[in-house]
A and B are shown apart, each in its own frame.
Chain A
Amino acid sequence: MATAAAEFPSVGGLSLRRRIFAYLGWTLCALAFLLLSGAMIWILSMVFLRGLSALSLGILTHTTEGTGGGLLNAIEGSLLLAFVGILFAAPLGLAAGIYLAEYDTGALAPTIRFFNDVMVGLPSIVVGYFGYVTMVSTLGWNFSLLAGSIALAIIALPYICRTSEMAIRQVPRSMREAAFALGASDSRVALSICVPIAMPGVLTGILLALAIAIGETAPLIYTAGWTDYLWTGHFTKEPVAYLTYVIWAFISEPFDSAHALAYAAAFFVTLFVLIIGVLSRLALDENAGWKNWAKRGAKHK
C-alpha cells in the first residue's frame, strides 16, 4: 500500500554517543542470535555425527539385548505409544478446539481456554507420577501400552486443542454464514465446512503433538516400563520399549555398545522431530497463504 517502510536516518549523521549505542546494540543482538544458532548447531552436530557413526543395519533389524543389539523394539514402541496417545488426544482436542472457536460467547469458553493454556505448562513428570499411581498401581495395569499412551495423551491434548482452535478461527466468516444460509445445522457447519478447510492447521497441530509425544521420557519411565522385545499385542500388563529410555539409561553404562545405541536413539528421535518441524513449517507457510485464498481461487477461474 501507500505506506512504504519508514526511512530511517543513516547512522552516520548521528552524534558519536548515539552511533556507538546503535552499533553496540546491533552487535549484541547479532551475538545473541549467533550464540543461539551456534548452540543449536553444536547440539545437532553432536547428535548427527555420533549418531551416524553408531548406525548400522543391525540397529534397525534387531531388538535390544541387554546392553547391545538393536533398536527395533524401541522404535516400534515409540511409534505405538505416540500414535495411540494421539488417537486418544486428537478427537478430544479437536472437539474442544471446535467449541472454543465456534462458541466463544459467555464465560465457559474463556475458562476452558485458560485451563487448557495452564495445562500446557504442567510438568510432564507430574502427569507420569499421576499415571503411575492411578493406572499402573491402583488399576493394576502394570507397565503397559495403555498407561503410557494415556499419559502421552494428557500431555499432547492442550497443544492439539489450542492449534485446532486457532486453525478453525482462521476460516472466513463468510463460509459459515453461507452454510447457515443454506440451512446447515451447527454440527454440519463445523464438521463438514470448518474442519476440512482448517485441516492443514489442525494436522500441523497433531504433527506437533506427535513430535512432543515421541520426545517425552519422564512420563513414560513409570507408565510404559521397558522391554527387550517387540509389542505382544497386549494393551495392559506388558511393558513397551521406547527410544528415549535408551538415550537416558544406556549412556551411563560403561559399555561402548550401549553408548552406540544411545547415540543412535538420539539420532532417530532428533531426526523425527526435525522432519516434523520442517513439515509443519512448510504447512504453516502454505497456511499463511490462506489469506490470499480468495485471490488465488479467483486466479484459477
Chain B
Amino acid sequence: MLLFGRTLSFPSRRLFLAGAVFALTLALGGLVGTSWAAGDVNILETGSSLVYPLFNLWVPDYTGAHSDVKITTQSTGSGTGISQASEGLAQIGTSDAYMADALLKQHPDMLNIPLCISSQMVNYNVPNLNSSHLKLSGPVLAGIYQGKITKWDDPQIAALNKGVALPDHEIIPVHRSDGSGDTFIFTQYLAFSTPDWSNSLSYGTTISWPAISGELGAQGNQGMITAIQGNPYSIAYIGTSYMDSIDKDGLGTSMLQNKDGKFVLPTPKTAAAAAGVMVPKTPADERVSLIFAPGPDSYPIINYEYAIVNSKQPSADMANALRDFLTWAISPSGGNASKFLAQVHFSPLPASVVKLSAAQIAKIQ
C-alpha cells in the first residue's frame, strides 16, 4: 500500500497498523476515562415537551450543586415518558398526564408525583387578529377538530367574538402526532365541556383524530409552534412554557371559556384560581384531573406536571439520588422557586400537595 508516496513493505505495514490501533485506543481511552468516575449516578429524564424547558433550567442548577449526579433531559412526549419509565429505560418519565388504571395495574410499582402546576394555551395564526385575543370555547374547539367548523368566519365562532372581522378562510387544525400529555389535557377539556366529544372520541395521550383535509400533525410542542408559524389560519394547543416563543413570533393566544362561561387568558392569577378549587380533590396517589375547574376566574386547562418514577429502584444509590432530586424539585426554595417557574409561566405546588408528593417520594427505595 502507498503511504506518502512510498510503498510500504509488509513489516512496516504491520507496524503502522499496530501503531494506529494503539493511538486510537489511547485516544478513546483518554476520552472515556474522564467520565469513569466511580459512584456517579446517571439519571435519564425523558418525556413531556411541556415541562422540558423547566427541567433544562433545573438541571444545571442542581447538578452544579451536586457533582455526583448526572441528569440527562429529553423531550420526547408524555407518552414516551410514561412508557419508558414503566419499562425501566428512563429513571424519571415526565408527563402532563397521569397513568391510566389499566397501565397502573400492569405496573403497580409506579408513582405519579406532581412537581408543579402547568397550563396550556390555544394558539392560532390569523393575519391581523394575532394580537386581539379571540374567544373560543370547548364546543367550538371540538367542532373545529371534528371538522364540523371549517372556516374562521363560522357563525359559532362569530357568536363568541361579536364585532371582530373574521376572515373567510379554512381553519387548519394542528394536533400532536406523538403520544402527548398536551393532547391528554386538551382532549379532556373538550370531553368535559362537550358531551358529543366525550361520547365519541374521549380523551387520551393519543386519540384517533378525525380526518380533516389540510389538518397537520406535529411532533412535540416545538413542532406545534413551527407548524402554526408556517401556516396562516392554523390553530394549535401549546403549553405555557412556550409562551415567550409565541409572543416573540407574534402569534395569537385565545381566551378560553371556562365552566362558568367566562372567557379567561392563561395567567398566574387564573391558574391559581383554578388550582384553588381543584387541588383539594387530590387523592393520595395524586392522579387527578384539574381540567375545567368551576369558578369565574378559573382557567380551564391546568394540570399537574407528573414525574413517573418506579418505587423499586435497582440500587440504593439511584433511589437516594432520585429522592434527593425530587425533594429539591418540589420544595419552594428549590425547584418550585419563582425564579424557575416564572420563566416558564407555571405555578408552584400548594403546600398540601407538596406534602402528598413528599409522601410518595419517600416510597422510592
Task: Please list the residues of chain A having a beta carbon within 8 angstroms of any beta carbon in chain B.
Answer: 65-67, 76, 79-80, 83, 136-137, 140, 142-143, 196, 199-200, 225-233, 238-239, 249, 252-254, 286
Contacts and interface: CB of A to CB of B under 8 A. Distances in A.
A67 B71 CA distance: 13
Contacts of B56: 65-67
Contacts of A225: 44, 89
Please report whether the interface of chain A is mostly helix, strand, loop or mixed according to DSSP: loop
Contacts of A76: 28, 31-32
B217 to A, nearest CB: 13
Contacts of A140: 88
Given A80-B28, A142-B89, A232 B40 contact: yes
B323 interface: no
9 contacts: A66-B73, A76-B28, A76-B31, A76-B32, A143-B89, A196-B10, A252-B223, A254-B225, A286-B2
Interface string B234-251: 000000001001000000
A40 to B, nearest CB: 26
* Best-buried of B40, B56, B89 by chain A (most CB within 10 Å): B89
Given A137-B87, A239-B72, 12 more contacts: A196-B10, A225-B44, A230-B31, A232-B40, A233-B36, A249-B74, A252-B223, A253-B75, A254-B225, A254-B242, A254-B245, A286-B1
B60 A66 contact: yes
B163 to A, nearest CB: 33
Contacts of B36: 232-233
B311 interface: no
Given A229-B72, A233-B32, A200 B10 contact: no
Contacts of A228: 70-73
A140 B70 CA distance: 22
Interface in B74-90: 74-75, 87-89
Contacts of A238: 42
B313 to A, nearest CB: 13
B219 interface: yes
Contact of A252 (B34, B59, B71, B220): B220
Contact of B42 (A65, A199, A232): A232
Contacts of B10: 196
A83 B21 CA distance: 12
A37 B357 CA distance: 60
B88 A142 contact: yes
Nearest first, the 9 A-B pairs at minimum CB distance are A66-B56, A230-B35, A228-B72, A254-B245, A227-B72, A252-B222, A233-B36, A229-B70, A253-B222
Contacts of A231: 32, 35
B213 interface: no
Contacts of A232: 35-36, 40, 42
Interface string B1-27: 110000000100000000000000000
